[in-house]
Every structure is written in C-alpha cells, then in structure tokens.
C-alpha cells in the first residue's frame, strides 16, 4: 500500500458538510484506507476572485493500492459528486481535493503534478498535511512535512 496525502478544502456552504461527505466517500472507496484526518481550519482565500468566501481546509492521510492517476481520478469524481465545477482559476468551490504527496513519487504531467508544486508554500496545506503525515518526505526537497512546516514557521521557506 502507498501512503498519500490529500488536501481538502471548501468555500461554498455547507463547507464542513462537503468535507465530511468527501472523507466518508474516501473511507468507503475500494482500495483506499483513510488513516488519519487533520483538524479543520478556517482560512482566507488566496489569489481568489473578489468576494470569495473563507475556506475550511484540512488534510487526510490515505493508504491505497491505487496508482497515482487512479487516485487522482477518484478525487475528481468525489469533487464532481459534491457539485464542483471548473472554470475560473481559484474561483469559489464546493470541494477541492488536491493530491499533495503520493509515496515518494515525483510526477509531472499535464494532468497531474505530485508533489503539489505549491504545497510547501501554503500554510493552509502544509499545516494539516504535517499534522497527518509529519514523517512523509517531500521527494524534491528531501525534508519531511514536519521539517518543512517548522522551517516555514521560522520564516526560512518561501
């Protein structure tokens, strides 16, 4: 089984309910085991259109026998079931599920980039990810999520 970290967010009501249902769907997905979930935190939208509401963000740790592209497709299907539509970048959304880490894989395709390219720069991703998987290592940076969080908190990471 491969460990994977998924960031979870929503800024269209009912935000917490959308996240709860998404976690439930992940937990009931064949070939996926929900290992841990972080606390949820309310955060300001980043680079979002004016008037975008506050986000509720968190993360979860999964173990899966799915490959990274199969897991990514599963995440997109769960988003669609929650009413997620894609259009304007960073627009408000009912549900956002981002594959942050997939084992020690480094993937860079038009469809999927893992590790997520900005995860280490965003507290709303890094803090909950480090909460559920502090020992997972960022394959490009060579640091654990806990180390990246500590460095960011100390102002050493851009």
How distant is the alpha carbon of residue 88 from its chain centre? Answer: 19
The CA distance from 19 to 55, in Å, is: 11
- Cis bond upstream, residue 14 (ω within 30): yes
What is residue 46's predicted lDDT score, i.e. its pLDDT?
83
User: 134 is written with which tokens?
Assistant: 């502090």
What is residue 157's predicted lDDT score, i.e. its pLDDT?
44
The active-site residue, picked from 3, 15, 25, 84, is: 84
The active-site residue, picked from 25, 98, 122, 135, is: 98
**DSSP classification of residue 140:** T
pLDDT in tens, the chain (158 residues): 999 999 999 999 999 999 999 999 999 999 999 999 999 999 988 888 887 889 999 999 999 999 999 999 999 999 999 988 776 666 788 899 999 999 999 999 999 999 998 888 899 999 999 999 999 999 999 999 999 999 988 875 44
CATH superfamily assigned to domain 2-153? 7,8-Dihydro-6-hydroxymethylpterin-pyrophosphokinase HPPK (3.30.70.560)
The active-site residue, picked from 3, 15, 25, 96, is: 96
Note if 15 is an active site residue: no
The CA distance from 22 to 7, in Å, is: 11
- Answer yes or no: are the C-beta atoms of 124 and 131 closer than 8 Å: no
Note if 104 is an active site residue: no
- Answer yes or no: are the C-beta atoms of 40 and 75 closer than 8 Å: no
Note if 41 is an active site residue: no
Domain boundaries, the chain: 2-153
What is residue 88's predicted lDDT score, i.e. its pLDDT?
67
Note if 16 is an active site residue: no
- Answer yes or no: are the C-beta atoms of 111 and 86 closer than 8 Å: no
The active-site residue, picked from 15, 25, 93, 152, is: 93
């Amino acid at each position: 089984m491969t460990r994977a970290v998924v960031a979870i967010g929503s800024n269209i009501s009912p935000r917490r309910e959308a996240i709860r249902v998404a976690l439930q769907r992940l937990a009931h997905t064949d070939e996926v085991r929900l290992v841990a979930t972080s606390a949820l935190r309310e955060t300001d939208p980043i680079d979002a259109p004016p008037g975008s509401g506050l986000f509720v963000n968190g993360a979860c740790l999964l173990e899966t026998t799915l490959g990274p592209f199969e897991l990514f497709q599963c995440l997109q299907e769960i988003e669609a079931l929650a009413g997620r539509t894609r259009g304007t970048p960073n627009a408000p959304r009912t549900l956002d599920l981002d594959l942050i880490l997939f084992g020690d894989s480094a993937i860079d395709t038009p469809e999927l980039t893992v590790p997520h390219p900005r995860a280490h720069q965003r507290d709303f991703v890094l803090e909950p990810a480090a909460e559920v998987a502090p020992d997972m290592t960022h394959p490009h940076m060579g640091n654990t999520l806990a180390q990246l969080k500590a460095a960011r908190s100390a102002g050493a990471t851009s």
